[in-house]
Structure 1
Amino acid sequence: MFTPGPSLDSVFGVQRAQADGHAAPISVFEDHPADSSIDADAVAARQLGRALAMSKIGARVSWEGTLTRLGLDPSKEPERVELQEQMDKDWEDVQILLDSTKRKRRKKMKKHKLKKRRKATRSSRLKLK
């Protein structure tokens, strides 16, 4: 009733490689000559160096790309920073007085409660007269 399927050895061709006289490679990369591993090491080192450099300056490159997409010149960025610092110095002397939102809300609620209490006690105050 049950017939066994093909074995794993026949599926992966291990027996065929051993019959040809070649040993099956342990790793995918072992069937390449040694020269290509030197090239691969050089490529890996170059990619690693680029990744390291990009991780250090990635934010700056991204910012320059954003400025370029917005139509601004990234080379004029230092001038823009100096102008921003000058503007910050100019605004140091200016004081803007702001009223607290919390204070306004508290005042409004106090007024509302007082109004409500006056309305509730109005009849008793009128009776006293």
Structure 2
Amino acid sequence: MRSCSSVKIGCDMVPGCYTRKMSRDKRLQDRSIYPHWCTDTVRFSDQDAAGHINNVALCAYLETARLTFIRDVGMMANGADGTRGISAGMTVSFLAESHWPGQVALGTGVIRIGTSSITVGSAA
């Protein structure tokens, strides 16, 4: 069961936080920079043969976090001109093993705003 709610809506920009190696940037591991939080359930089927949460399952948790954030800040609907955002890529750094059973807390926030894109960061 997935349940998501916003702790606070709004995006606190973190100056200079985005780099090519942003996934290893220690500042992105600071849970206080993420204004939006939700939870997801770790399912038995999310495990691989070694009993760890599979990387595909973790990406699904992050997708839940990103889409819930986008929905809650009002960016889910098509724009006035019919445009709609898409995900152009995803970079994940695995910092520790995860296991079933449990809940995963997912934090999300805007890391960078460009001229035609935004970079959304998440922590689990």
Could you say which TM-score interval applies, normalised by the shorter chain?
A: under 0.3
- Scaled by the length of structure 1, the TM-score of the pair is 0.21
More strand by share: 2
Higher relative contact order, chain-length normalized (CA < 8 Å, sep 6+):
2
The structure with the largest alpha-carbon Rg is: 1
